[in-house]
Amino acid sequence: MEPRLERALRDAEEIVLVTRGRRSGRPHEATVWCAYEDEGLWLRTDHDTDWYRNLRRDPHCRIRVDATEVGAVNEPIIDEAAALRHVVDLFRAKYGAEWVSDWYVERGRAPVRLRLEL
**CATH code, domain with 18:** 2.30.110.10
- Does residue 102 register a pLDDT over 70? no
Mean model confidence pLDDT for the chain: 91
Domain that holds residue 48: 3-117
Is residue 91 scored above 60 in pLDDT?
Answer: yes
Give the pLDDT confidence of 64-79 residue by residue, as tens digits: 998 899 999 999 999 9
The structural domain count of the chain equals 1
Q: Is the pLDDT of residue 105 over 80?
A: no
Entry pTM: 0.91
Whether the predicted pLDDT of 103 surpasses 60: no
> DSSP for 11-67?
H-S-EEEEEE-TTT-SEEEEEE--EEETTEEEEEEETT-HHHHHHHH--EEEEEETT
